[in-house]
Amino acid sequence: MKRNEITAPAGTESHVLKVSDITKPFEFDLSRPLEIEVGCGKGQFLTRRAAENPDCDFLGIERMLERVRLFDGKCRRGKIGNAKVLRLEALYTFHYLLPAHHARKVYVFFPDPWPKKKHHSHRLFGPLFLNALWKRLEIGGRLEFATDHREYFETVKECFAGDSRFEEVPPMDRPKEVWTEFETMFREQGLPIYSAAWRSLEADDAELEPLRIPPEAEPREGIARRYE
């Protein structure tokens, strides 16, 4: 099967992954470790981590075009060859486009909390994401999570506590050097930061069920419509 290329087109220095077909998985260099940040924003955390860890590959997933461009700019200026950014929805990417059991770490920092109950279906964390996350993490791989939103934090912890494929482990240290753009902003406002981490465990490795995307949420005429 022909897969999406993860290298930049010849003659360019773009760090934005080219997606020629969203039904085809990306081909990663499986001899190199991989770390992924979901909702990487402008790339403050991931590009720095990539610069400090040249023996690992880094993938940012971010749906806002302007932030993707800023991530790309940071990589170009810093000549950071081992970081790429993908402009695509995270759940879909985890479900269909990543290699099985390869990522050693996945970072999700300050995901949109969707505080109103009627918007909770937009939240990233839930059984579908945990299924796809487990499938993409190497066994023993880790998910690092941080948020300023207490209620979402408790909900995410409950979600992992109900899934025997993960065990909670101490989260990474959070010195200033690892802050993201949003963490920097929240800390300057004196807001509390909640963080947690989980490790994936051996479990029955079933195939992922195809995602059921309601017709009203399918991309149409170039416009991706949201769930109501």
Ligand X SMILES: C[S@@+](CC[C@H](N)C(=O)[O-])C[C@H]1O[C@@H](n2cnc3c(N)ncnc32)[C@H](O)[C@@H]1O
Neighbours of 1 (CB within 10 A): 6
Q: Establish if 72 lies at the interface with ligand X (CB under 6 A).
A: no
163 is catalytic: no
Please report, as residue ranges, which positions from 113 to 152 form the binding site for ligand X (by CB under 6 A).
124
Listed residue (167, 194, 189, 146) closest to 45, CA to CA: 146
Task: Please identify which residue in 16, 80, 85, 90 interacts with ligand X, judged by CB under 6 A.
Answer: 90
Q: Establish if 182 lies at the interface with ligand X (CB under 6 A).
A: yes
Task: Please identify which residue in 6, 24, 51, 63 interacts with ligand X, judged by CB under 6 A.
Answer: 63
Helix (H) or strand (E) segment spanning residue 68: helix 65-78
Task: Please identify which residue in 27, 89, 155, 172 interacts with ligand X, judged by CB under 6 A.
Answer: 89
Selecting among 55, 57, 72, 112, the annotated active-site residue is 112
Ranges of H-type helices in 90-141: 90-96, 127-136
User: What length does the chain have?
Assistant: 228
Q: Establish if 35 lies at the interface with ligand X (CB under 6 A).
A: no
Q: Establish if 41 lies at the interface with ligand X (CB under 6 A).
A: yes
Does residue 43 come out as left (phi exceeding 0), alpha (psi in the -120 to 50 range) or beta? left
Task: Please identify which residue in 61, 68, 98, 106 interacts with ligand X, judged by CB under 6 A.
Answer: 61
Spatial distance between the Cα atoms of 71 and 19, rounded to a whole number of angstroms: 17
Task: Please identify which residue in 39, 60, 125, 143 interacts with ligand X, judged by CB under 6 A.
Answer: 39
Listed residue (158, 167, 146) closest to 37, CA to CA: 146
Q: Between 111 and 141, whose beta carbon lies closer to ligand X? A: 111
Q: Which stretch binds ligand X (CB under 6 A): 17-25, 56-64, 97-105, 195-203?
A: 56-64
How many helices (H) does the chain have, and how many strands (E)? 6, 9
Q: Which stretch binds ligand X (CB under 6 A): 108-116, 136-144, 168-176, 216-224?
A: 108-116
**Torsion angle, alpha carbons of 34, 139, 27, 213, to 10:** -110
Q: Between 6 and 128, whose beta carbon lies closer to ligand X? A: 128
Residues that bind ligand X (CB under 6 A): 39-41, 61-64, 67, 89-90, 109-112, 124, 180-183
Residues identified as active-site: 112
